[in-house]
């Protein structure tokens, strides 16, 4: 039984209308803003808690918020296997990012690497969603990956093992984005968000005994400082809100229209990183990210052209 608090997503009943798609894009854009602020918050508190403990706090607070907003209804999943696998993989993505932030990677640098996600989504949509990719999109996708290599060039600011770890996590993140779209055909936003966040609790607890997931000073305290607790509460609440926004937005808007919003965290990361830590990305990072983003936007343009041609052929 789905929650009465939210109407059924259009994917349960029919293709989204233009108005619904625009609302979905606005929701997704808001979600990326919220999650970027949450990322800055957890990066700030990471020296006190460590990645594993941050994962536990995110899961506890975020899942509780979703449960309260859903009033305990609409949380029983339909596609349980896919939801479980997606949630566990997302935990891997989360703890990977937390580990890299704890190791000193800036917000902007991590988001620059993650800008490869829409390119990977283009490739993954071929086997998973039955999408067709022509030679132009293949070419632009390869150019985009050239931008990733430019960012990760030897001697550059991103020439470090954490960047490769982030790139692997970005590939997994792209897969979970595709699966989110698939899940919206059977499950509501509350169920998708609740089980994803709840999975963070046991995964984080399993990671607590491992020293490489501790803060620099040793094992994380049972209770952080009052300021640390406040930051973790804000972090967990923001993640709960963001995951519901993503689940709802992905149900309303087509994935090819959502893809450009994957780049907005880079803008958030540059601004928040500079304001909080005085971080300024290297020109190689910004240059490579510009190539990746340009390729991704071209892919979006080609997708729109292709779909318009299909509609004209169907009408004829």
Q: What is the pLDDT of residues 43-75, one digit of tens each?
A: 999 999 999 999 999 999 999 998 998 888 889
d(CA 128, CA 91): 21
**DSSP conformational letter for 12:** G
Q: H/E element holding 107?
A: helix 107-114
Phi-psi region of 106 (alpha: psi -120 to 50; beta: other; left: phi over 0): beta
Say if CB 190 and CB 70 are below 8 A apart. Answer: yes
Please check whether residue 241 lies inside any domain of the structure.
Answer: yes
pLDDT of residue 203: 96
Per the structure block, which two tokens stand in for 198? 């709840």
Please check whether residue 170 lies inside any domain of the structure.
Answer: yes
| Backbone CA torsion sign across 76, 80, 83, 87 | positive
Please check whether residue 10 lies inside any domain of the structure.
Answer: no
Q: 219 — phi, psi (to 5°)?
A: -60, 145
Please check whether residue 248 lies inside any domain of the structure.
Answer: yes
Say if CB 244 and CB 189 are below 8 A apart. Answer: yes
Per the structure block, which two tokens stand in for 71? 């009033």
Say if CB 242 and CB 34 are below 8 A apart. Answer: yes
pLDDT of residue 255: 66
pLDDT of residue 312: 75
| Backbone CA torsion sign across 55, 57, 58, 60 | positive
Please check whether residue 296 lies inside any domain of the structure.
Answer: yes
Q: Whole-model pTM?
A: 0.81
Per the structure block, which two tokens stand in for 202? 């046991």
Say if CB 210 and CB 102 are below 8 A apart. Answer: no
Please check whether residue 7 lies inside any domain of the structure.
Answer: no
What is the number of structural domains in the chain? 1
d(CA 15, CA 162): 41
Please check whether residue 266 lies inside any domain of the structure.
Answer: yes
Domain enclosing residue 29, as ranges:
16-315
pLDDT of residue 316: 58
Per the structure block, which two tokens stand in for 316? 């004829």
Say if CB 143 and CB 276 are below 8 A apart. Answer: no
Please check whether residue 55 lies inside any domain of the structure.
Answer: yes
Say if CB 83 and CB 195 are below 8 A apart. Answer: yes
Nearest in space to 282 (alpha carbons), one of 117, 106, 33: 106
Low-confidence stretches of the chain (pLDDT < 70) are 1-18, 255-256, 259, 303, 306-307, 310, 314-316
Say if CB 180 and CB 86 are below 8 A apart. Answer: yes
Residue 229: other Cβ atoms inside 10 A: 15
* CA quadruple 27, 33, 34, 36: dihedral, nearest 10: 140
pLDDT of residue 9: 37
């Amino acid at each position: 039984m789905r929650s009465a608090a939210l109407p059924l997503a259009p994917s349960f009943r029919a293709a989204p209308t233009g108005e619904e798609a625009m609302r979905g894009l606005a929701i997704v854009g808001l979600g990326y803003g919220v999650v970027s602020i949450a990322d800055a918050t957890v990066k700030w508190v990471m020296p006190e808690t460590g990645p594993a403990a941050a994962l536990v706090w995110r899961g506890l607070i975020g899942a509780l918020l979703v449960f309260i907003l859903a009033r305990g209804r609409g949380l029983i999943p339909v596609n349980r296997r896919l939801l479980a696998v997606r949630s566990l993989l997302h935990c891997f993505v989360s703890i990977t990012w937390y580990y890299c932030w704890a190791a000193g990677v800036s917000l902007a640098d991590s988001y620059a690497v993650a800008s490869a996600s829409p390119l990977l989504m283009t490739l993954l949509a071929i086997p998973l969603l039955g999408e067709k990719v022509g030679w132009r999109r293949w070419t632009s996708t390869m150019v985009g990956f050239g931008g990733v290599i430019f960012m990760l060039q030897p001697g550059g600011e991103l020439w470090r093992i954490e960047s490769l770890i982030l790139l692997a996590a970005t590939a997994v993140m792209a897969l979970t984005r595709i699966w989110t779209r698939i899940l919206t055909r059977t499950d509501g936003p509350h169920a998708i968000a609740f089980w994803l966040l709840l999975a963070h609790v046991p995964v984080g607890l399993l990671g607590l005994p491992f020293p490489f997931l501790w803060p620099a000073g040793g094992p994380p305290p049972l209770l952080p400082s009052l300021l640390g607790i406040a930051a973790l509460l804000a972090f967990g609440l923001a993640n709960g809100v963001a995951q519901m926004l993503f689940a709802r937005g992905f149900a309303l808007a087509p994935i090819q229209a959502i893809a450009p919003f994957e780049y907005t965290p880079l803008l958030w990361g540059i601004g928040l990183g500079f304001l909080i830590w005085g971080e300024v990305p290297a020109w190689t990072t910004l240059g490579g990210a510009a190539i990746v983003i340009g390729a991704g936007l071209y892919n979006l343009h080609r997708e729109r052209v292709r779909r318009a041609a299909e509609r004209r052929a169907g009408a004829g």
